[in-house]
Amino acid sequence: MMEIVPSAVPSGYAYFLQHTASPVEEKPQPYALPSYSMAVPVSFQEFIGNIHAVENLRAAVAVGRLPHSLILAGPRGSGKYTLALMLTLALQCERQPREMAEDGRELAAFCGECSNCTRILESADLETRIEEAVAAREELREVDKKETRILIQTHPDVLVIPPDPPQLLIKLGQVRTLITRSQRVPSEARAKVFLITSASFMKEAANSLLKVLEEPPSYAHILILAENLGELLPTIRSRCAVTRLGALPAEDIEQVLSAARRELSVKDRALVARLSEGAVGRALSLNLTEYQSARLDALTMLRNSQTSDHTALFKMTETYRAGAEGQVKTTALLRALAALLEDILLLQNGAPDRIRNIDIERELRSFAESVSFAWLESAVKGLDAVQSGLRRNLLRNVSLDAFAAELEVAR
């Protein structure tokens, strides 16, 4: 195994690529854009929601008892990465500031200014760091490219391990680096921190992580961020402490938005709060215009199922092309469609207060009144089929048309 710093990267810079001799593991995976909060964490006070979970973790850091293997579980956008980074800062800060909880416990904090803090904070904008690393990998020779894994390191004792594109899985080579690194004592901070930002592992990678989770060195902390705990091997879960981050109530998110996204009208804030499903990060970054345009196409599909005139549908599906851009667009359409179907189901079941697309409630109600439960069920099934077809890279517009036709027949 060999690590290389590509020449395109300024020396001493933020990340490195890892060259591994192991064969490339290939497995098609659903396409999903990773989403990380772009905000640089300023202090624990800025972290919204989940106060008790956060205080418990800070108190554990303060007394040197943060679990060595820890899973932070919570929905996309709930702040897992931000919190993990803040805990890392609290562990590694040279000044080790302390604050007092209301119950009198000491809580770890960080200064954000010392040499450890500032270097770790360079990993805050993870999306950009990953883009840079991927771009650098693109510059490599074809044969090296395949065997090069993405790792982000802005401090010698902190290693961020994101899912490796394009399959977006944690791969064996990445875990191998974690294992090698964990055998070396920290050089510039008190601990060695490994931050695995996804729970989607290649099987071999998960198995090899087990060994280190079993007996992590006393100076090492391994944090795993999980949207869905079920994705992790039970043997991994059982070796880790788990902290869950819950979703926030829509009203809390609206309040955050009223300060952070003043460009949105009150009505739009309420809509974004519902659409983000309790995840602050998602609420802050959700592009409402893009969502509404994907939703309009999803509505076209639903409306098409109720008419014999398919002009609007064909006009719409024609704009969906193959390639990466088409894939992003299709994924957005399918997500919007899934949200609409769920809302229609909620309306049928007399739970209108739980729907997300509150701005088009009237149209959704008329759908809810005109379609049967069996239709909804087959629509959801058909949606799954299109999504798995997408994973197999079928021509997008063909499968969208086929799905729309199915929706019509099923009525």
Give yes or no for residue 96 binding Zn ion (CB under 5 A).
no
93 binds Zn ion (CB under 5 A): yes
Whether residue 166 is preceded by a cis peptide bond, meaning omega within 30 degrees of 0, is: yes
**Contact flag: residue 405 with Zn ion (CB under 5 A):** no
Write the binding mask 35 to 74 for Zn ion: x where contact by CB under 5 A, - elsewhere: ----------------------------------------
Number of residues that bind Zn ion (CB under 5 A): 5
Give the 3-state secondary structure of 113-180: CCHHHHHHHCCCCHHHHHHHHHHHHHCCCHHHHHCEEEEEEEECCEEEECCECCCCEECHHHHHHHHH
Closest to Zn ion by CB, 110 or 291 = 110
Which of 29-37, 114-122, 169-177, 402-410 is the region at the interface with Zn ion (rule: CB under 5 A)?
114-122
In whole angstroms, how close is the CB of 347 to Zn ion at the nearest point? Answer: 51
What whole-number distance in Å separates Cα of residue 345 and Cα of residue 52? Answer: 34
Tokens of 256: 């955050």
Nearer to Zn ion, 117 or 248 (CB): 117
Task: Select the span of 70-78, 85-93, 153-161, 386-394 touching Zn ion (CB under 5 A).
Answer: 85-93
Residue 222: CB minimum distance to Zn ion, A: 22
- 61 vs 313, beta carbon nearer Zn ion: 61
The residue among 92 and 357 lying less far from Zn ion, judged by its C-beta, is 92
Q: Which stretch binds Zn ion (CB under 5 A): 9-17, 91-99, 192-200, 319-327?
A: 91-99
Using the contact rule CB under 5 A, the part of the chain among 57-65, 106-114, 138-146, 355-363 near Zn ion is 106-114
Axis crossing angle, helix 288-304 with helix 323-348, rounded to the nearest 10:
70
Please pick, from the candidates 39, 59, 111, 328, the single residue that binds Zn ion as defined by CB under 5 A. 111
SS3 state of residue 95:
coil
Q: With the CA atoms of 16, 22, 23 and 26 taken in that order, what torsion angle do they form, in degrees rounded to the nearest 10? A: -60
- Of 46 and 318, which CB lies nearer to Zn ion in the complex structure? 46
- With CA atoms as reference, report the closest residue to 386 among 300, 263, 301: 301
**Distance between CA atoms of 410 and 408, rounded to whole angstroms?**
6
Distance CA 206, CA 171 (A): 8
Residue 114 interacts with Zn ion (CB under 5 A): yes or no: yes
Tell me which residues touch Zn ion (CB under 5 A): 93, 110-111, 114, 117
